[in-house]
Amino acid sequence: MSTSLTFLLLRFDCLAQTHIKLGEHQAGERLRDALANVMLRAVCAENPRRQQPTPEHAAQCPVCWLLAAEPVPGEVRRVYSLVPPNPPLDVAAPGQRFSFMLTLYGSRGMQYLPYFVLATPEMGRGGLGPGRGRFDLEAIWALNPLQQEAQAIWQAGERVVRAPQGMVSFQDAEALAQAFLPRLAHHTLQVDFLSPTRLIEDEALIKSPDFGVFFRRLLKRMDELAEQCSPDPQPPRSKEEIERLHALADQVRLVETETRWVEVWGPSGRTGRSTPMGGFVGWAHYRSRHWADLLPWLLFGQGVQVGKLTAKGNGVFRVQEISEDFRS
């Protein structure tokens, strides 16, 4: 089993010119909000107040389609997600370098690469966060974290943006999993939850890193992104295949965890009210004898993120090994 989904991971290297109030776990929401404002000013003269566009308008306006909460009823997966600075950064001082990342999904997401490339330098000039802190964009990199490859597609002073050489595929994750599996001590791995992870199961908010819930939400997100963003999506997995993966995930044992819940609130340009963005952060150790089936999905999922509000930086996680001296 695999997925036709691919993604492009971009890293934007920045140099602060004034104090920038990123707000730690609020950074993703502030970066996304600043990008949205720049794009709407530059491209869409009909929606300056960032109101929810009609489906007819969104179908004609690429930026409103990109930023709208649900431009087409039932089509709820955005074609991008944002990765805030890691570790979380409260304030970037003048002269301090920081980076954030952006993920574009499939061929549909790649259509919007020029918009983000053009908007980011303008965002730096206009500022972001309270006080509108300003920065200079120094470089843009296309990354393949599964193959540990990096390509500079633009650097300060250049007038041309080079085309990325390729996108990350599920086959990259399968190859890495083959090398990763023999190194797992006691069939145990660690998942670091780097930004608020907000999971919903049966309409209930999940405040602990239950692996079964985490994996089901991740798999569902990948399936929906593949269907929406891939030019030639694979046929939907059978009910039996999905149930088998779910059953294996439910057997994964949570050995040890250290997580905490962080409350984050963000303004909604659509409703005018603050909306909850909080989730758990920290780490968890998981044990299973079925990593051969589950690990490729976990490794690939690092570029997909999980849960609610990924476009605002939520749901970033990383998988890593645990040292041999671990005992439980």
Reported as a single tens digit per residue, the pLDDT across 222-247 is: 999 998 888 777 777 788 889 999 99
* Domain membership flag for residue 139: yes
Domain total in the chain: 2
* Domain membership flag for residue 77: yes
* Domain membership flag for residue 325: no
Q: What is the pLDDT of residue 328?
A: 43
Whether residues 222 and 118 share a domain: the answer is no
* Domain membership flag for residue 280: yes
Condensed to tens digits (0 to 9), the pLDDT of residues 152-169 reads 999 999 989 999 998 999
Whether residues 179 and 144 share a domain: the answer is no
* Domain membership flag for residue 164: no
Q: What is the pLDDT of residue 254?
A: 97
* Domain membership flag for residue 211: yes
The enclosing domain of 261 has a CATH number of 3.30.70.1900
Whether residues 125 and 13 share a domain: the answer is yes
* Domain membership flag for residue 2: no
Higher pLDDT, 76 or 199: 199
The enclosing domain of 86 has a CATH number of 3.30.70
- Rounded Cα distance between 192 and 175, Å, is 21
Whether residues 95 and 212 share a domain: the answer is no
Whether residues 199 and 120 share a domain: the answer is no
Whether residues 115 and 178 share a domain: the answer is no
Question: Domain ends where: 97, 130, 155?
Answer: 155
Whether residues 307 and 188 share a domain: the answer is yes
Whether residues 176 and 316 share a domain: the answer is yes
* Domain membership flag for residue 161: no
Taking residues 94-100, what's their average pLDDT?
98
> Could you tell me the residue range of the domain that residue 134 belongs to?
7-155
pTM of the model: 0.91
Condensed to tens digits (0 to 9), the pLDDT of residues 106-152 reads 998 998 899 899 999 999 999 999 999 999 999 999 999 999 999 99
Whether residues 240 and 105 share a domain: the answer is no
Whether residues 133 and 193 share a domain: the answer is no
- The β-bridge relationship of strands 265-267 and 97-105 is unpaired
Question: Domain ends where: 110, 125, 155?
Answer: 155
Whether residues 116 and 185 share a domain: the answer is no
Whether residues 29 and 124 share a domain: the answer is yes
The whole-chain average pLDDT of the chain stands at 89
